[in-house]
């Protein structure tokens, strides 16, 4: 690992770099959500402000956690009756579909993550420089990691052993712990719910990921489902403290007219599944003014930022976006997952930020309620790097020439300085600087000053055509000056 795959995919005209680890996955990745083709800027000034603040934060944590973690399988998808790599039934009861679903739902009666300690996670995330968290309150399988009144398929129900634990309202504990460390909080919430009898009506067998009846033919059923969704989101937005992001997954629940037929998984959506986002967003923002609503892939006023998944747009985009990417291969916990290297992850963050995006890095907690040692070790490495270099990451914006060879550029939003990242080779953590470094002249002014973050003293430089040649002090050339990337700061443009 340690390299961004050079394979360039044309994704509706947007070129993306695919994360190599995803392709190398042993466990099939779940189906992926593409990036929307269009964007509408929010009109609400409070939303604009939060969006700006969120963009400045640049780096967040995503967690996928549920009863599926007990079997160490792909989150939710194995109960979806589609024949795809990511829906293969991997639990111990795979002979019949119905038997499997029963056993899967029965995982509720053994979910008991006694090591759950969200303060430990929040400490590790904050020390790594992460500024927001998005947590799975409910994934497609419908199991609620919060104390909803709408169903007993939840962590706080008496059937779940963990319900007797004082921290049983897991989502609440996660949000409180991260908020206490100063992070923004976001609720991942799946619009489709494969446990709800109003989404997968037991009268018919489920056919695929979609609602299993025609909402136009059975409007009272669909209305009941809409109400259920509204009520649950209301619980999350009114009873869990200050929330910053409502991250809605499962883009096949969408108005029929919003379907983009050029996208494979959207082409097969059989029905209008309009959940009334306007109503939901209005309610949510009445409790959480300025809330960012991220109705993934449903381009329009309720997708306040775009969410390319396991990919990074190849060029800077002028609207807000966030790549969600797994630290291992899988969104949810699988035993012995393959973790990306610290070098890879730091480079990923730098490249995303240089293109104007945020990185939402995912970790899947174990059934016992902790992360692997490797996840902590990666965050520690990233944190060590951020402690020296984060001024080149936060509150920055893209600046030409963005990226050239092993150099990547960002600029402070107020234009007061430009940062030049000198990346280490993909397969080697050490950054070794040459005696002179040739960089783009357009970021320099007559009185520019150049320093190296984490080092004392100014560097000499001179113009050479459309380049500037920076002289690296003798004591810093030819040996390791940092790990992953060393940052030169240029002021005075």
Residues that bind ligand GLC (CB under 6 A): 30-33, 64, 75, 249, 309, 324, 331
Q: How far is the CB of 30 from ligand GLC (least distance, A)?
A: 3
147/309 with CB nearer ligand GLC: 309
Q: How far is the CB of 191 from ligand GLC (least distance, A)?
A: 12
Q: How far is the CB of 75 from ligand GLC (least distance, A)?
A: 5
**DSSP string computed for 436-489:** EEEEEGGG--TT-EEEETTS-SEEEEEEETTEEEEEPPGGGBTSEEEESEEEEE
The CA radius of gyration of the chain, in Å to the nearest whole number, is 23
Give the whole-angstrom CA distance, residue 304 versus residue 296.
9
Give the whole-angstrom CA distance, residue 21 versus residue 325.
10
Residue nearest to ligand GLC (CB): 30
| SS3 label, residue 389 | helix
| SS3 label, residue 65 | coil
User: Is the distance from CB of 240 to CB of 259 less than 8 angstroms?
Assistant: no
Q: How far is the CB of 359 from ligand GLC (least distance, A)?
A: 13
281/324 with CB nearer ligand GLC: 324
Q: How far is the CB of 164 from ligand GLC (least distance, A)?
A: 29
90/493 with CB nearer ligand GLC: 90
- How does DSSP classify residue 340? P
Cα–Cα distances (Å) from 235 to 147, 150, 151, 155, 274, in that order, read 9, 9, 12, 15, 21
248/399 with CB nearer ligand GLC: 248
Q: How far is the CB of 251 from ligand GLC (least distance, A)?
A: 8
Other residues' Cβ atoms within 10 Å of the Cβ of residue 159: 13
**Residue bearing tokens 């018919």:** 204
34/410 with CB nearer ligand GLC: 34
33/181 with CB nearer ligand GLC: 33
**Residue bearing tokens 């947007």:** 14
228/331 with CB nearer ligand GLC: 331
Q: How far is the CB of 79 from ligand GLC (least distance, A)?
A: 12
């Amino acid at each position: 690992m340690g390299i961004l795959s050079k394979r360039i995919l044309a994704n509706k005209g947007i070129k993306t770099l695919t994360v190599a680890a995803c392709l190398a996955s042993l466990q099939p990745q779940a189906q992926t959500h593409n990036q929307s083709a269009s964007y509408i800027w929010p009109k609400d000034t409070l939303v604009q402000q939060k969006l700006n603040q969120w963009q400045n934060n640049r780096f967040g944590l995503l967690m996928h956690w549920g009863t599926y973690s007990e079997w160490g399988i792909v989150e939710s998808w194995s109960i979806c009756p589609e024949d795809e790599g990511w829906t293969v039934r991997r639990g111990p009861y795979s002979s019949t579909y119905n038997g499997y679903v029963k056993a899967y739902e029965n995982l509720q009666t053994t979910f008991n993550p006694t090591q759950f300690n969200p303060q430990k996670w929040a400490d590790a995330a904050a020390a790594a420089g992460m500024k927001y968290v998005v947590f799975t309150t409910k994934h497609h399988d419908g199991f609620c990691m919060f104390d909803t009144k709408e169903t007993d398929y939840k962590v706080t129900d008496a059937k779940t052993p963990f319900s007797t634990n004082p921290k049983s309202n897991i989502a609440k504990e996660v949000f409180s712990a991260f908020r206490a460390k100063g992070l923004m909080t976001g609720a991942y919430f799946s619009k489709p719910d494969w446990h709800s009898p109003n989404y997968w009506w037991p009268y018919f067998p489920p056919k695929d990921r979609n609602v299993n009846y025609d909402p136009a033919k059975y409007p009272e059923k669909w209305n009941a489902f809409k109400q259920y969704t509204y009520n649950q989101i209301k619980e999350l937005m009114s009873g869990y403290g200050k929330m910053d992001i409502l991250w809605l997954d499962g883009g096949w629940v969408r108005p029929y007219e919003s379907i983009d037929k050029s996208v494979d998984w959207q082409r097969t959506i059989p029905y209008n599944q309009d959940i009334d986002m306007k109503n939901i967003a209005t309610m949510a923002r009445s409790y959480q003014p300025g809330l960012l609503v991220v109705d993934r892939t449903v381009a329009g006023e309720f997708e306040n930022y775009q969410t390319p998944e396991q990919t990074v747009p190849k060029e800077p985009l002028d609207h807000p976006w966030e790549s969600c990417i797994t630290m291992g291969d899988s969104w949810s916990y699988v035993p012995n997952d393959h973790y990306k290297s610290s070098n890879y992850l730091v480079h990923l963050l730098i490249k995303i930020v240089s293109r104007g995006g945020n990185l939402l890095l995912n970790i899947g907690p174990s059934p016992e309620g902790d992360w692997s040692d490797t996840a902590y070790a990666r965050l520690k490495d990233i944190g060590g790097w951020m402690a020296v270099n984060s001024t080149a990451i936060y509150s920055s914006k893209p600046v030409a020439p963005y990226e050239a060879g092993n150099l990547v550029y960002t600029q402070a939003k107020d234009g007061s300085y430009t940062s030049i990242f000198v990346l280490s080779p993909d397969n080697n953590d050490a950054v070794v600087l040459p005696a002179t470094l040739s960089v783009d002249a357009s970021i320099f002014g007559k009185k520019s000053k150049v320093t190296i973050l984490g080092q004392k003293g100014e560097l000499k430089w001179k113009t050479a055509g459309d380049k500037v040649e920076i002289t690296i002090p003798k004591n810093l050339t030819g040996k390791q000056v940092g790990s992953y990337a060393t940052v030169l700061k240029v002021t005075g443009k």
